[in-house]
Amino acid sequence: MKKISIVAAAVALVSGAAVADFRPNAPQPNVNMRGGFVGGEEQISTVKQAKEMRDDVPVILQGRIVQRMGGEKYLFEDATDSITIEIDDDDWRGQVVTPSDTVKLYGEVDAGLFKTEIDVDYVEKM
């Protein structure tokens, strides 16, 4: 009787382990021996959406810088609206951008009492 219990327990362990590793509908990860993050695309927001966001929310915008407004302030626009952005001199990282260039801006929302702007951390010329 003891032998039957031991055999039954062994069969349960082996079949349980096989079932635990069997995932027929699970997505197969990219085989990369170095590892890393898989999934999640950049979430690009529109200017219209950014104007409704709370202060300090990270944001990615894509569009054109159309005008310098003085100092480190610029006018940025996409298909939905325009917004004032602030780009520190070192955040350009040596890139030259014209109003005809499409750029991707990485930054955060600076929601003030009367006006919302974007504080840009990085400019990527497309």
**Residue ranges covered by each domain of the chain:** 47-125
Token reading at 29 = 């990860």
47-125 maps to which CATH number?
2.40.50.200
Rounded distance between C-alpha atoms, residue 125 and residue 65, angstroms? 11
Convert the pLDDT of each residue in 54-113 to its tens digit. 999 999 999 999 999 999 999 999 999 999 999 999 899 899 999 999 999 999 999 988
Convert the pLDDT of each residue in 14-69 to its tens digit. 555 444 444 445 455 554 556 666 666 788 999 999 999 999 999 999 999 999 99
Rounded distance between C-alpha atoms, residue 74 and residue 67, angstroms? 6
Rounded distance between C-alpha atoms, residue 83 and residue 22, angstroms? 51
pTM: 0.66
**Spatial contact of 66 and 47, defined as CB atoms under 8 Å apart:** no
Rounded distance between C-alpha atoms, residue 13 and residue 97, angstroms? 63
Which letter, b or e, does each residue of 84-114 get, where b requires 16 or more Cβ atoms within 10 Å of its Cβ? ebbbeeebeeeeebeeeeebebbbbbbbeee
